[in-house]
Every structure is written in C-alpha cells, then in structure tokens.
Amino acid sequence: MSDSKLNKTDAQWREELSPEQYAVCRCSATEPPFSGKWYEHKASGTYVCAACGAKLFESDTKYDSGSGWPSFYQAMDKAAVTLHQDESHGMRRVEVRCAQCDSHLGHVFPDGPKPTGMRYCINSVALDFTPES
C-alpha cells in the first residue's frame, strides 16, 4: 500500500466501476444480504478493494457470521482500512473504508469471534479476490 491516497474524480469512478460498485463504494449503499459472490466463498487467498486493488483481508480471517455478507475478524493490516462513525438510517455504527481510495466497504461490529471479537461485515461488490498461488 502506498502512503498517498488515490484521488479520482466522480466521473472517473463512474467510468471505472459498475453501477452497483459505484453505489456501494462511492455512495455507501449496501448490497442485499446473501446475494454477494464472496458470501460463501471458501478459497484461500486475499480479498482486495474492487475499486483500487488494495489488499484488505486474508481468507484465513473470513468466517460465516450468518449475517448475509462476507465477514472477517480482522483486516489484513490496521493501515489497510479506516473506521468512521456512521449515524445514518437511525443507527450508530462504525463504517469501514479502504484506506487507499476511501471506498465504502461495509461496517464493523464488536460481536465477532476470537481472537479479536470483531466482525468486519463487508459488501461482496466492494471486494475482488486474488487466489493463493
């Protein structure tokens, strides 16, 4: 991961991302539960940001939370994601964004498994996957 943020115009994001990716990554939408391609995915590798390719989560930290979205108990590196208070929709949550391009990824909750107790609940559409070689 580089030390500088990736800055693109709204027009560039609209051109590079699918409409669903744009809605989630740039406008903080949420895909329907149990609909994402990575929800039941079990291969070994690295989940990366769909918008910029930054490495975000390792497959060995993924688990079935029953929430309907891919869930991880920790980010690949603390510097890979940023956390932000989200009080939208009448709820108090902690939003997870890609540290490299500021794309919305999902939310994190303190109800995950050991060793961290955290549940990073991430939209599949915000992720790509690089298999282990």
The domains located in the chain, with CATH, are 10-131 (2.170.150.20)
Q: Which of 75, 39, 53, 42 is nearest to 6 (CA)?
A: 53
> Would you give the end-to-end CA distance of the chain in angstroms?
20
Tell me if 74 sits within 8 A of 63, measured CB to CB. Answer: no
Task: Kindly report whether the global pTM for this prediction surpasses the value 0.75.
Answer: yes
**Which residues are identified as catalytic?**
121
pLDDT band of 97, cuts 50, 70, 90: very high
pLDDT tens digits for range 69-89: 999 999 999 899 999 998 887
